[in-house]
Amino acid sequence: MYIRSAVATDLPAIVRLVNDHARRGEVLPRSALSIRDTLNDWLVGEDEAGRIVACVSLLYYSSVLAEVRSLAVLDDVKGQGWGSALVKAIMAQARHRQVPKLFALTRAVPFFEKVGFSITTKERFPEKVWGDCYICPVKHRCDETAVVFQLSETTGVGSFSGKAVTFPSSRNLSVFTIKKEPKMSRISVNKVVLAYSGGLDTSVIVPWLRENYGCEVICFCANIGQEEELSGLEEKGIASGASKVIVEDLRHEFAQDFLFPMMHSGAVYERQYLLGTSVARPLIAKWQVAVAEAEGAEAVAHGCTGKGNDQVRF
């Protein structure tokens, strides 16, 4: 096993590895931009053939606390010890940087216990709760367990890559300040990611965006099980003027995190049909933003007309 710090050329492999696991609901999705900006905090496992087969990262909340996250191992090498080797390596890195406490939120509790972590409660880590969990769409039905590892009993400042973060106290959570910006003229956009279905509205808006903004248009379509509607989609988008058509398979995440909770809640519109269309929009928007970050786009767009309410859902 060869474990080393990540370098810029590893970025595409890390993005594929992490987001393959994200589609199965095993880790949170990470955009290429967010990974690139934190590349110094990533470790990768490289096999004898030079493939990147595993990765992990540390998120430094402060000089005394870091989170182990985005642990992903290629399917064909699972069971060979890559996961535990990476976690032990990232623990050694934290110890070198004098960060005394590590934690993780995970479904793989037995794995983390084997490498020395112990079960705890999420409330011990308000940095995580108010940073990520507070805005997570599945926070009320989270099935992840918090685990913690104490590297040192002393609180060493040391050097760490990351920024110190201040969080609101629980007494002030309901107080927000919204600054109203002056109305702006049409913005300058070089590249936009369009939520694309291949229907009339999204087909029309591809050339409309190009003509009105002079921008490159990348079409993004979420595969949530629409089957035959995906046939010929890429050819149609390119013919409409798009530079690229990206289709992301989100069926697992859609079923697990959106459809099942929707059915449990009995969300039936006017007692006639399940809210299948509207419940998909937050998932599509989430991945549309991730694609925009990965592609270096300045904007996202949808083709919803003013007569409906889809624009509000997006």
| Averaged pLDDT in 10-residue chunks for the chain of 314 residues | 90 93 84 90 92 93 88 92 91 87 89 90 65 52 81 41 30 33 61 90 90 91 83 88 91 86 80 77 90 89 77 76
Q: Where are the beta strands (DSSP E) in the chain?
A: 2-5, 42-46, 52-62, 65-73, 101-106, 118-120, 145-150, 191-195, 216-223, 244-249, 268-269, 273-274, 299-301
pLDDT for the residue 27 = 84
pLDDT for the residue 10 = 94
**Cα gap 35→83, rounded to integer Å:** 19
pLDDT for the residue 252 = 87
Instruction: Mention every residue, 6+ apart, whose C-beta is less than 8 A from residue 24.
Output: 252, 253
The count of C-alpha atoms lying within 13 angstroms of the C-alpha of 183, restricted to the half-sphere facing its C-beta, is 0
Measure the CA angle with vertex 111, ends 105 and 115; round to 5°: 95
At residue 4, the 3 state secondary structure works out as strand
At residue 294, the 3 state secondary structure works out as helix
Domains and CATH numbers, the chain: 2-163 (3.40.630.30), 191-313 (3.40.50.620)
